[in-house]
Amino acid sequence: MKNLFLIIVIFLGFLFSSCEKVIDVELTGEPPRLVIDAALTWVKGTDGKNQSIILSTTSNYFDSEVPKVSGATVYVNNTANAKFDFIEESTAKGKYTCANFNPVIGETYTLTVINNGETYKGHEKLVSSTKIENVEQTSDLGLNRNEYGIKTSFQDLGTQTNFYLFSYTSPVSTFPYLEVIDDLFFQGNKAFGLFTSDKLKKGDVVEIKFRETSERYFNYMKILTSTAAGGAGGPFQPSPSSTIRGNMVNQTNVKNFCLGYFSITELDRLNYTIK
């Protein structure tokens, strides 16, 4: 019996000592892919001439910085073949800007990005957008009745199926909160977007952006926001478990696809201060 007890003790000691051994696992990832952040916006009340596009690449999960892409050729054409060049800023690697863009409602634009000898193209139509009509605040939402709520109202035009995107930027989150909705259940009536948080406090300023989008962009953002929900990072860093392709297509090598999306929208925005 004593021998049996001794054998059990030795076995358990070996088992627990083995569990303390550190095992290093080398993680491998996909080669970096080009990411095109080309959300052109025509803010109501402005001429829309100043626009910017950001080029970067995907990175490994544990990388703390997003690699920027320098030296690319970037431009946008309209249907009349007018060309708007986006030039890389000398002080901001990977940021390409245009100071003479000409936004026209109903016009279709094509974005071209040439990088490392490969050409990417995508097109989008600029649709008009209704405006923000009213913003209301509630202070007793959530299970504990301690969440602030910002209700942003607008009037749906009702002449066709419409698709909308809300963006709320606040001090309580690194990335904007995004909400996509369509007018399936409120066509022709007033509707609203809602942003809530138990971390907001009096005096915090929330930037609200509201735009109408194309159906393609709506579907893309709906998938993207649902995939990124609950994540600690942005939608591209690190990459979601399922790769979401946008409307930019590699004309040179289809297999070497990029991430991101080319969109162009009219936009209404305002800053709201929590009371």
Q: Chunked in runs of 10, what are the mean pLDDT values of the chain (275 residues)?
A: 46 49 58 94 97 93 82 98 97 97 97 98 95 92 80 91 96 93 94 93 96 95 77 44 81 95 97 95
Q: Using CA atoms, how far apart are residues 57 and 258, in angstroms rounded to an integer?
A: 9
Residues 120 and 232 in one domain: yes
Tell me whether residue 9 is in a domain.
no
Cβ neighbors of 201 (< 8 A, separation 6 or more) are 274
Tell me whether residue 40 is in a domain.
yes
Please give the residue range of the domain that contains residue 169: 132-213
Residue 255's pLDDT is what?
A: 93
Residues 49 and 118 in one domain: yes
Q: Using CA atoms, how far apart are residues 26 and 23, in angstroms rounded to an integer?
A: 10
Tell me whether residue 68 is in a domain.
yes
Q: 229: which 2 tokens?
A: 């929900």
Residue 10's pLDDT is what?
A: 45
Condensed to tens digits (0 to 9), the pLDDT of residues 138-170 reads 887 767 777 899 999 999 988 789 999 999 999
Residues 86 and 149 in one domain: no
Residues 121 and 137 in one domain: no
Residue 236's pLDDT is what?
A: 46
Tell me whether residue 155 is in a domain.
yes
β pairing state of 163-169 and 177-182? antiparallel
Q: Using CA atoms, how far apart are residues 109 and 103, in angstroms rounded to an integer?
A: 9
Residue 240's pLDDT is what?
A: 45
- Phi and psi (nearest 5°) for 6? -65, -40
Residues 204 and 230 in one domain: no
Condensed to tens digits (0 to 9), the pLDDT of residues 17-36 reads 555 555 555 555 678 999 99
Q: Tokens 């996909």 belong to which residue? A: 30
Tell me whether residue 13 is in a domain.
no
Tell me whether residue 90 is in a domain.
yes
Q: Which residues of 79-98 are buried (b: 16+ CB within 10 A; e: fewer)?
A: eeeeebebebeeeeebbbbb
Amino acid in the structure at residue 13: G
Answer with the one of 196, 213, 230 that is the final residue of a domain. Answer: 213
Q: Using CA atoms, how far apart are residues 160 and 156, in angstroms rounded to an integer?
A: 9
Tell me whether residue 24 is in a domain.
no
Answer with the one of 197, 213, 229 that is the final residue of a domain. Answer: 213
* CB contact at 8 A, 118 and 139: no
Half-sphere exposure of 176 (CA within 13 A, CB side): 13
Tell me whether residue 275 is in a domain.
no
- Phi and psi (nearest 5°) for 138? -125, 145
Residues 141 and 188 in one domain: yes
